[in-house]
Amino acid sequence: MAEHADQRVSFIEQVGPQPRLLAELRRLESRDFEIWLLVAFAIGVFLLGILSFFFPRNFWLVPTVDIKLSPQVLFAIMMFGLLVALFAARRELELKKLRLANLESMLTARNSQSSGLIDTVTNVLNRAFLHEILQGEIQRSERNNRPLTLVMCDVDGFKQVNDRYGHLTGDFVLAQIAGIIKSCARGSDHVIRYGGDEFLVVLPETDEAGAETVRERIQQKLQEWDRNNRFGDTPISVSAGIYLHVAGQTPEKDVAEADIRMYALKLERHRQGLPRRTGTQ
């Protein structure tokens, strides 16, 4: 199950538009020259046959060739070759059509699979895939005795943006933040839209210190984005709760613990009246 999850996530987040299938489509399309070669051969055979039949002396210089075949017999042989070439070209076209149809069906199926797992607004994994990802990463972490850390991120100030500027602007902000979070993670990490304005980052092979580094990257990049793209007087930041997986705990427990730490941080800063920013608890 874990290996299956790894393969599906790798396919979705790293492969993207299925380059192997697209490469195969391009390869098949590039083989058009083979069919045109057969057609050119058939046309050449046909022209030679016509010339040898109607102008045997001018074309062959003698009424018969060295193999002692009359031009008429040679014409018949050439016509047979023409039919064989045309049959081969037709068969190649039909096989190519079948292969292309099969590959297009596979691409459609893969795209349908991907669209069901990718959030259309933020272009990261949606929550439907969360349990499978975490279950696989937990099993791998405990099997190899390696750390696994979760970072639960909640967007501060998002409700004000939605209320004042509308949901289309809110979707734009979410997409920008998702892109920032994803740019701060590695290819082996998983960024998941957990809720409306919440994102969960799953960091395999990462301890709390490593997760803190990721958190700082997110903070720095988001502050830069906010300076250049602030909507009115509404600052945008992210509160992040970090949780290190404990052996034996379920995926649901890990997520709940990361969520608790994130909300504890938000409440503490709210009580202190401090500007909300990314941090850990």
Helix and strand counts by DSSP (H, E) for the chain: 10, 5
Instruction: For residue 200, list its beta bridge partners.
Output: 152, 192
Angle, to 10 degrees, between the axis of helix 158-165 and the axis of helix 167-183?
A: 150
**HEC per residue, 47-96:** HHHHHHHHCHHHHHCCCCCCCCCCHHHHHHHHHHHHHHHHHHHHHHHHHH
Known active-site residue 207: no
Cβ neighbours, 10 Å, residue 215? 22
Which tokens hold the place of 277? 């920013």
Distance, CA of 172 to CA of 159 (rounded, Å): 13
Q: From the candidates 154, 189, 197, 254, which is the catalytic residue? A: 197
Placement of tokens 């059509």 in the chain: 97
Reported for 97-102, long-range contacts at CB under 8 A and 24+ positions apart, including other chains, are 99/28, 100/25, 100/28, 100/29
Burial of 239 (0-12, 13-18, 19+ CB in 10 A): buried
Using alpha carbons, select from 185, 184, 198, 211 the residue that is nearest to residue 9: 185
Which secondary-structure segment (H or E) carries 148? strand 148-156
* CA angle 273–263–189, rounded 5-degree value: 125
| Strand ranges inside 89-142, DSSP E | 125-126
Instruction: List, by residue number, the catalytic residues.
Output: 197
